[in-house]
Amino acid sequence: MDFYVNKTSGTAADIQLAIGFASCVDALYRRQDKRRGDIELRNEGYRYHIITPRPLDLEQISDDFLESFQLVSPLDSQKQRDKLLKKGDADHHLDGFPYDTEIEKSRAYRELLKKLPPSLRTPEARLRKAPELQEIADMEADSRLENYQAVNHMKVAATFNDLAMRWSVLTPSQKRFHLQLLLDLFAREDNDIAATVSQWQEYAKKQQLKGNVLVTALQIINPTTGKGANRMKGGELAIGNLDSFWLLELLKFRGYMEATVPILVQDEDDRKIYVIQPRNIKLSHLQGIIKEFRAVFWSTTAIKLDIMASLRFAQVVMEQYRVKLEQMPKGKITSLATEFSVSFYKYMGSAHATMNLSTIGLPIWLSAPETPEKVEEAMALLDEHISIVRGLHNSKGEEGAEEYALLRVYRDFLSANDLHPFWQFTTAYSSYLMSSLASLQHHVRQLSYTGLEYLLMNMQDKNPEAVAIFNDVGFQHIADAIRYATVIAQYWRSQDGRSDYEVRYGLGRNLMRKAHYGKEFTAALAEFLFLYNEENALEEEKESRRKKDNPDSSSSYRFRPKTTEEDFRCVVNLTN
C-alpha cells in the first residue's frame, strides 16, 4: 500500500510530517498484522513515498487498542498539572510523558557516571556500548527527554499539551474516523488538504467536537512560521503566527519525537534542532539510528555542533555495520539519508526566535563497508576527523578567528560533492598545526596518510585525478619531504630545542597560492627541493665528521628521506 506526503514548506516541517505519519501507520499496521514486514520511506524530491508491505484496514484495529492509542504523549509535569487546575480543567489528566520523573532519572544517571573512569564518560564509550555502561543502561532517562525539554524550554508546553490532549479525549470511533481521514489524505498523490479540512469540519459539527480546525503552527516544528515577517512578499509586516490543520500539526510533533534531535549550544541558552533528511530507508532502521545518535551527540559550540552532527551520525551507522554487517544495505551512507536540516533558535530573553535555517551534509566519502576490516578503516577515519575537529581551540579552550575559519571550511567540505573545500582545509590546517606544535599544544592531531587514502579512494568517482596523483610514487616522496621540512622539523625542535633543519613555516600556503600558475609553482617547488636536499647533504657531512672525530660516540643524526630529479619530473608532469 502506498502513501504520499507532498513537500509544501521546503523545511524540516515536511520531514517531520512524513515521518510522523509513517510512524502512525507503522503502529497501526503492527497491531493489525503480526507478520514480519517493515515500512519503507523514500524521498522522491517533491514528496515522500511511504510503502507498507500489505494494506491497512482500520476495521481490524480494536476499540481497546484505540482507546489508549496516542499520537503524541503530552508533557506531564507538576507545573503543567497546576496550570490545568488553574484553568478549571481538573478532570483532564495529562497521563503522558513523565517529565519530572525523567529529569530526576537523568540527574541520578549523571551521578552514577561521575563514579566511572573518565574514559567511560565519552560518546565513544556509549557508541561502542562499554560493558560498564550497559550495566546501568536501565537507569538512563528516556531518549525523548531532550525533545520534551526543548518543548518546555521554548515555552510551548501548554500549547503542545492542548494539541496532544485534543486527541486523547476522542472516543475509539472518533479516533478511527480521524485516522481514516489521514489515510485517505495521504493515499492521494495530490494531498487535498482543503477537502480534508472540510470533511473534518462537517464531522466535528455532528460530533460536537471542541477546538478550532486551524491551530497556531509552532516554530519548534515549523521554523519559518514564527512571529514576524513571514509573507512571501514584504508588502506589509505581519506580526503573528501562521495557522495549520490541527491534525497535521499533531503528526509533525510525532515526527519531531521520532527523527528530531534538539540540543543546547554549549554555555548558551540558544538551541539548535537537527532533523534528518531520509533518502531510502526502513522506518525501524531510521528510528534505531536516531536513538543511538541522541546518545552520542553532545553539546558543543554552534559551528562544531553542525560538524559533529554529521560525523557522529556516520559513526552510528558504521557501528551498526560493525555489529550486523550482513544485514546492512550496500552503497554510500548517503543512500540512507542525505543531510540534516538545521534550525537555529536564538534566546531573546523571554523567548526563542528562529535566526537561521541551514543544512549540513553527511560524509559522501563513506561507502558501505563489505568486510570487518573495511568497517574498522571507516571508523578509524571518523575517529581521526572527530579528534581533529575537537582539537580546534586555543589554549583557553575557546574558538578564535583562526579556529572558526578552519571549522567553517571543514563544514563546507561535509556538504560539498568534491574535495576542493577539503584541500582548502588541509592547507590552512598545516599552518595551524605547526603553530600549535610550536606553542606545545599537543591536543592538535595530524591527518594520516591512511585516512587520506581512504577518503580519496571513496571519492574517486568525483575526483579521479586526485587518486592518480596520490598514488604516484614521485608525489609521495615529495609529500614526505614537505612533511619532514614542516611538521616533523617543528616537532623535533619542540622536543629538545635542536634546530638541525630549518622549519619552513608557510611552505604549504605558498605552494597552494602558486598551484594555479604552472611556471610559478614549478619554480617554487624546485627551490624548496634544492634547499631541502642541500640541508640533507650538509647534515650528512656534519655527521660524517663527527663519526671521524669520535668513532665511539653514539649517532645523533636525524634521518630525512631524499628526493630525486625523477620525483620532481613526476610531480611536474602531474600538474600539466
Which residues are 367's β-sheet partners? 332
Q: What is the pTM of this model?
A: 0.87
**∠ CA 181-182-183, rounded to 5°:** 95
The confidence score (pLDDT) of residue 369 equals 87
Q: Which residues contact 102 (CB under 8 A, 6 or more apart)?
A: 141, 142, 145, 148
Q: What secondary structure does DSSP assign to 329-359, as a single string?
A: PPSBGGGTEEEEEEEEEEE-SSSEEEEEEEE
What span, in angstroms and rounded, lies between the C-alpha atoms of 312 and 316? 6
Rounded to 10°, the helix 145-153/157-168 angle is 120
C-alpha cell at 217: 503552527
The confidence score (pLDDT) of residue 450 equals 87
C-alpha cell at 226: 514564527
CA 98 to chain centre: 28
CA atoms lying within 13 Å on the CB side of residue 507: 24
The confidence score (pLDDT) of residue 229 equals 41
Q: What is the mean pLDDT of residues 373-391?
A: 93
What span, in angstroms and rounded, lies between the C-alpha atoms of 246 and 222? 13
Which stretch of 76-85, 124-133, 457-466 has the lowest confidence by average pLDDT? Answer: 457-466
The confidence score (pLDDT) of residue 396 equals 82
User: Does position 91 have pLDDT exceeding 70, yes or no?
Assistant: no
In this structure, what are the phi and psi dihedrals at residue 358, rounded to the nearest 5 degrees?
-150, 180
The confidence score (pLDDT) of residue 240 equals 46
Q: Which residues contact 425 (CB under 8 A, 6 or more apart)?
A: 406, 409, 410, 413
Rounded to 10°, the helix 172-187/193-207 angle is 170
Q: What is the dihedral of CA 115, 117, 118, 122, to 10 degrees?
A: -90
CA 531 to chain centre: 45
pLDDT band of 456, cuts 50, 70, 90: confident
C-alpha cell at 129: 556500548
Which residues are 47's β-sheet partners? 6
User: Does position 238 have pLDDT exceeding 80, yes or no?
Assistant: no
Q: Which residues contact 452 (CB under 8 A, 6 or more apart)?
A: 470
Q: Which residues contact 270 (CB under 8 A, 6 or more apart)?
A: 264, 302, 344, 345, 346, 347, 352
Q: How many Cβ atoms are within 10 Å of 225's Cβ, its own excluded?
A: 21
pLDDT band of 234, cuts 50, 70, 90: very low
* CA-to-CA dists, residue 438 to 100, 397, 484, 498, angstroms: 50, 17, 15, 13
CA 42 to chain centre: 20
